[in-house]
Structure 1
């Protein structure tokens, strides 16, 4: 899921109890502040997104017929705490997790989706799913951290993890409520500005503001799908507008969210984000998420324009942002039935593979298996990947008055038109 944040801002971030507030944008960190562990994808500091980017990288490889390096998978499974949860990054896995370590739902859910897709990790995913169920909120949703207020992004990524692990998201309930109940509370009525969209969280007065990132996540959550999906059944209706009649059903929630996204990319083909004090600029990450959400809803025609825009304009962004960004583009291509190895003239699979340990084997487009030297790709890591991804910084805190702002899965808390 599209914010940059500087190393100075990250270092100064502090936890303040309260509601989540919008995160602000900054430039990427120039150098890692910790050593990059063996087996981890990417060269940027993994403190805030290590598990997230590794999970998405492995899931994207699996989706494209690539068998990841064993040490890459081992790095991810080794990050799990004894209670089943994952933190954004554990530098010393020999040290047991304690109360000082901030575990979170997003890292845990992303790891579940990746490991479930790889197969053979049932013990790990079962423990993770058990932990996620234990921290479900009474409204049926999930916050970023245990006990935190439910938000659309966290609720949706957990719903995707449940589905990946063979669970029915609608059947995972707390106090009689499921993820769908939480998403209903976070959806904007059709008769309001931004109708059909999801808010990240209610504001301090309980109001809802449309957020494109939360909406893209919410569509997948309402459909019970994870990061990887194929195109849904094309709707027979020519109408792609918010419909109040079915706004409280999972299918209606997804449809109305997709209608908001379709309108948002109709003119330019991409979503925009605004840096404080700067003009609006393209938001590559949320645009890729929008392609996946529209395709999942079956609105592939509405997704073609943003997909084409990404093919033409995402190369520099992905190179700077690293493995999770490559994965995100792969998910968008996969959802639309496009070839990620021929994406705007780029081979996204090879570019992703080059950011970490070389995979064990890969199935090329012509179906032939290709082995690779497990030591060569580490030398080919992109030296230009100099920061936390434009879109993929995860689990960052921001002091802002009375609230704590999370940069979850790189997802912005900014309000979007």
Structure 2
């Protein structure tokens, strides 16, 4: 595809995202490319790069377009403005040269579009007169929560959130060592370095196609952010234990815990979504895991009552705003509503209360989110302990925890401080006599 044809495809994808604002961008992009199988891998990466760059800069681009007189931030203007701010020299002429309407290129700029982009020429994306939420690319209503969480570090943290995420892999020790995995990936042309915190992690500098490699297909590696791997470490699941993954989804953390248990003991992976649980089957098989039982949670289910106080470890990887994953999902910032946060907080508290009944006396409940907000993290834990005095915060007893967190009862990770996605975990122990 020509650069102009790629730009046209990116504009089309952005238009679909505007038409379906509540649909995650990655799901829409997957559907977009499935319907256009003629687009090759290199072109897909180029198109996706334009779209994701727009999503990361959406509020700032929209602010400039409004100041230039545009009644709305159309996909064509957003893409054109992005190219203006990314280029140098006579950028406006270069941008105009892509909007020709020929050979699958976008249609020519209208007189109004040209005037708006001409107004932007010579300006800079980061304008000092921007309101803070626009400059930081966050919803206005979320600023108080973000300030409460980060204080003076807010700008640094959100700047890190605006950068593309690296590719992290977890080596499956059931299948081989980290050194063997790195060597196998290198033979496939993917160079990695050991993660700084996770004892099982490998990091590639940029997004690359790992799923076609022998290391992935043989179950030697799984795609998993280093922060998520540390949540697995915080659980401290060991071979003799009975472990419950209460919100297992497609089983990413279940796989990690099966590894730390050396495929022994017993794990129950629960979820309310049958498709997600079904999606775990192939991953479990590929990883060589055979100590996992799956259970679908349905209304009126007596399963939990029959298994009350029977698990050594219960992991609650709670549904949350996903604010910690903004590096990977910048569109989530645009979709998040205040009502989403309040609804999720109520759901998190309800799930914690249900999961607490499944922890045996002396056992541990690990609460985790991929959120950076105190509202969903430490505030939830304080409220939970207020309702359940039989639980107290304790440090992890896992030998796999990095030394920096070994004595911590809570784990707070962020891109700026740790180079990971934003994650939180709290380790709670149930009193032996309760």
- Quickly name the TM-score band, shorter chain normalised: under 0.3
Q: Which has the higher contact order (CA 8 A, sep 6+)?
A: 1
TM normalised by structure 1 equals: 0.28
Q: Which has the higher helix share?
A: 2
TM normalised by structure 2 equals: 0.27
Structure with max Cα Rg: 2
